[in-house]
Structure 1
Amino acid sequence: MFDELKQDVIEQSRVIGIDKIGFASVDVFSTLKERLKQQQENQYQSGFEKGTIEERTTPRKLMPEAQSIISIALAYPSKLENAPRSTKGDRRGQFCRASWGTDYHDILRDRLEQLGQFLKEKHPDAQYKIMVDTGELADKEVAVRAGLGFTGKNTVLITPEFGSYVYIGEMITNIPFEPDQPLEEDCGDCNLCVDTCPTGALIQGGQLNAQKCIAFLTQTKDYLPDEYRAKIGNRLYGCDTCQVVCPKNKGKNFHFHEEMEPDPDVVKPRLKPLLRISNREFKETFGPMAGSWRGKKPIQRNAIIALANYKDQTAVDELIHGMKHDPRPMIRGTAAWALGKIGSEAGKVAIQEAQEKESDESALAEMEKGLNYFRAPQS
């Protein structure tokens, strides 16, 4: 009976727009458990992880009745059509591909909920629990066990059909579906992602030091550590380097889902307007995207750093305004640092003026860093 139900679920998944589906057992993820312990010991975790190691590796801790897991993948676009150009005096930042279009959490939850309702219609005793990215289970590990793909050296799921440009999520259920077989594939001798990672966040053996990963760093809300400011370039949210260089992604660009299509002006926005964007404007423009989940503060900080990396002289007035009037010390301080890096005389005078009125120690420290560029010019 369950073999027939499995085929029904697979067919329904195609009907509702799921690009790939697989089935996994609810056995403990023993290898993952050891890796998570090692990550914890090495302090490689981002801090965004949910649940204990036991909860993250033991499906029945999350659903005692669990008998199997359904894993799904949806392919997303990798190429931006009609991308606006970033030009001198009109510089733009960029959101990573995983933040293009509507928030993928919402898209996958919708597909999984539709699948869950179908399951209950076919089998009224069915129970299910949906997770997408923010749940305890490691989506990628479930997908690998379900045969959707394999883990690359860049630590992301790579599928044969769509490369790594896929969103994944899963559903734990009390239905004992027969598990699928994992793929026997790996990266071989290729080491491009490890060698190209801007911050060296990828560790040999397929581990990620999240504390050094630009995708993580762009989402933090405090000052960005000095050593990473130049490395983020014009990234406002996320990083695609380890995916872009991957040979498995060559020629992979899929436009199957209308809600994933990006607005070019939103995913590559002008930087200067971001410095004074209101909460309402931010929510209206960027709210539907996954990249907005941490609010506007990290995006504005990253925009300031991007303007500094461009050494955009036309941004000096905006940065002075932010340094003198923004109520948030981190924004004031980062703007002062950026003025120093850009190196205009007006910026120098403004930093000195701001110093006299500034009371926050962290902002004062950044102002001193800004002035140090004038004392000993750096590239």
Structure 2
Amino acid sequence: MSSLTTEDLATLADQIKQWGSELGFQQVGISDIDLSKHKDALHRWLQNGYHGDMRFFEQNLDKRTQPELLHPGTVRAIAVRMDYLPPDASFAKALSATDKGYISRYALGRDYHKILRKRLKQLGDKIKHQFADSDFRPFVDSAPVLEHALAEKAGLGWTGKHSLTINKDNGSWFFLGELFINLPLPIDKPVEENCGSCTACMTICPTQAIVEPYVVDARRCISYLTIELKGTIPEQLRSLIGNRIYGCDDCQLVCPWNRYAKISTEADFMSRPALKDQTLLQLWSWDEQTFLDNTQGTAIRRIGYQRWRRNLAVGLGNAPFDDAIVNALQRARDEACVLVREHIDWALAQQHASKVSMSRTTSRLIRTIEKGLPRDA
């Protein structure tokens, strides 16, 4: 390592970015590993209980803000991003079709964890091939790593008020990954924050989970409720979830910077027909084996069949009244596990309320029409 000059390291940094581009990353940046300024905010977030049931956030706190403890010898983090927005996202159509299940667009294709990790390892191998003394470890949302903080320091973008990374020229529809390395590479400069006075993401959030700029209460976040939460979805939040059965994209959809987002050309991130634009009833009809078959290789599979059914039950409860929905829920109720049955009962009550409301609206309409008709009509 001592034989590497400043010029050697600068040349290598340029080479790393070129290799990253060849491996399919849209951007590569390099940062130091001083994350001390994030320590207090992380502690406040945890003290407020905003992490919900994600107890793993309470563990390895020192490692989150001191990457060298996570991988000894680390002096730099190579941060990368990869676009994932599929060309057929059709957000408005999917969210407005309340009889269909909405799945966050990042999850419609192959699980990004495996793809990015594999390519980060390939990047590390290229570096090691050139410098045998180099030592690295790749991370993709799989360890106590403050990935948005590192992306920000590496110049990939700034942290938006929804807590996601935003790039001025590419929006926020991208995955992040990191390669911890023991080479003192030259670092990139952070970019200026450009959210300004905009609070669109905070306003649009269906459950008002962004409790203050840059702070998300996961306990109210639809992504947490439909993915991370293992138990019962709080009843007061169920009707706000709508037809979102896995994740939520609303805060990104409304972000002005996403007008500059780029469509992904990565084949693995293309939408799978079995998951996209399917009706809630079609998805509800899947048995466990069908669920496993249709979600093989995707991020969805990790929530398991029962939580998938829990989420679908909430979606069916929020759908317009339909005898077919009621019948399907009733048929499944007796054999459902306790978790799913509770949400089925709620959904049935919602469907009944929707039917009553629809009946009253129809009656009012008939009375209004009759009042305007001639007596002999």
Alignment counterpart, residue 32 of structure 1, candidates 28, 34, 38: 38
Question: Would the aligned equivalents of 1:75 and 1:167 in 2 still touch at CA under 8 Å?
Answer: yes
Give the CA deviation at 1:252: 2.1
Question: How far does the alpha carbon of each residue in 1:285-311 deviate from its partner, in whole angstroms, 9 at most, with x for none?
Answer: 012221222112222111111111113
The superposition leaves residues 173-211 of structure 1 with CA deviations (integer Å, 9 ceiling, x where unpaired) of 111111110001230011111111111111223111111
Q: Secondary structure at 2:303's aligned position in 1?
A: coil
Is residue 2:27 matched to residue 1:15?
no
CA distance in 1, matches of 2:322, 2:28: 47
Partner of 1:43: 49
DSSP-derived class of the 1:179 partner: coil
**Quick check: 2:103–2:245 contact (8 Å CA) kept in 1?**
yes
SS in 1 for 2:145: coil
Inter-partner Cα distance in structure 1 for 2:101 and 2:188: 42
CA contact 1:78–1:165 (8 Å) conserved in 2: no
Q: Which residue of 325, 332, 347 corresponds with 1:315?
A: 325
C-alpha contact (below 8 Å) 1:25/1:69 kept by paired residues: yes
Show the 5 A alignment for 1:1-379: 1-27=8-34, 29-48=35-54, 49-50=56-57, 51-77=59-85, 79-80=87-88, 91-219=99-227, 220-310=229-319, 311-326=321-336, 328-343=337-352
In structure 1, what is the Cα distance between the partners aligned to 2:104 and 2:213? Answer: 25
TM-score normalized by the length of structure 1: 0.85
Call closer, same or farther: CA 1:169–1:156 in 2, change over 3 Å.
Answer: same
- Secondary structure, aligned partner of 2:28: strand
Structure 1 SS opposite 2:30? strand
Q: What's the CA shift string for 1:109-157, capped at 9, x where partnerless? A: 1110110111111111111111111211111111001110000111100
- 2: CA distance, partners of 1:90 / 1:317: 18
The structure-2 alpha-carbon separation of the partners of 1:138 and 1:120, relative to structure 1 and needing over 3 Å to count, comes to same
In 1, distance between residues paired with 2:220 and 2:92? 29
Distance in 2 (CA, whole Å) between partners of 1:130 and 1:299 is 30
Distance 1:166 1:115 in 2: 19
State the 1:172 CA deviation: 0.5
1:4 corresponds to which letter in structure 2? T
CA deviation profile, 1:9-40 (whole Å, cap 9, x unmatched): 1111111111100001022x122111111011
Q: Which amino acid aligns with 1:130?
A: P
CA, structure 1 residues 324+187, in 2 after alignment: closer, same or farther (shift >3 Å)?
same
SS in 1 for 2:29: strand
In structure 1, C-alpha distance between the alignment counterparts of 2:309 and 2:201, rounded to whole Å: 28
Contact 1:95 1:291 in 2 (8 A): no
User: Where in structure 1 are there 5+ consecutive unaligned residues?
Assistant: 348-372
CA pair 47-324 structure 1, distance change in 2 beyond 3 A: closer
Tell me, yes or no, if the aligned pair for 1:83 and 1:264 is still in contact at 8 Å: no
Query: Whose radius of gyration is greater, 1 or 2?
Result: 2
Deviates more, 1:66-75 or 1:264-273: 264-273
SS of match in other structure, 2:100:
coil
Give the aligned residue type for 1:225: P
Write the distance in 1 (CA, Å) between the matches of 2:91 and 2:126.
39
CA RMSD of aligned residues (A): 2.5
Q: Secondary structure at the match of 1:144?
A: helix
Unaligned runs of 5+ in 2: 1-7, 361-377
Letter in 2 for 1:274: L
The answer to whether the 8 A contact 1:109-1:130 is kept is: yes
CA pair 176-19 structure 1, distance change in 2 beyond 3 A: same
Shift of 1:73: 0.1
Kindly provide the amino acid, as one letter, of the partner of residue 10 in structure 1: K
Distance 1:200 1:81 in 2: 24
Q: Tell me the SS of whatever aligns to 2:178.
A: strand
User: What is the CA–CA distance in structure 1 between the aligned matches of 2:85 and 2:148, rounded to whole Å?
Assistant: 19
Normalising by structure 2, we get a TM-score of 0.86
**Counterpart contact for 1:84–1:265, Cα < 8 Å:** no
Identity %: 29
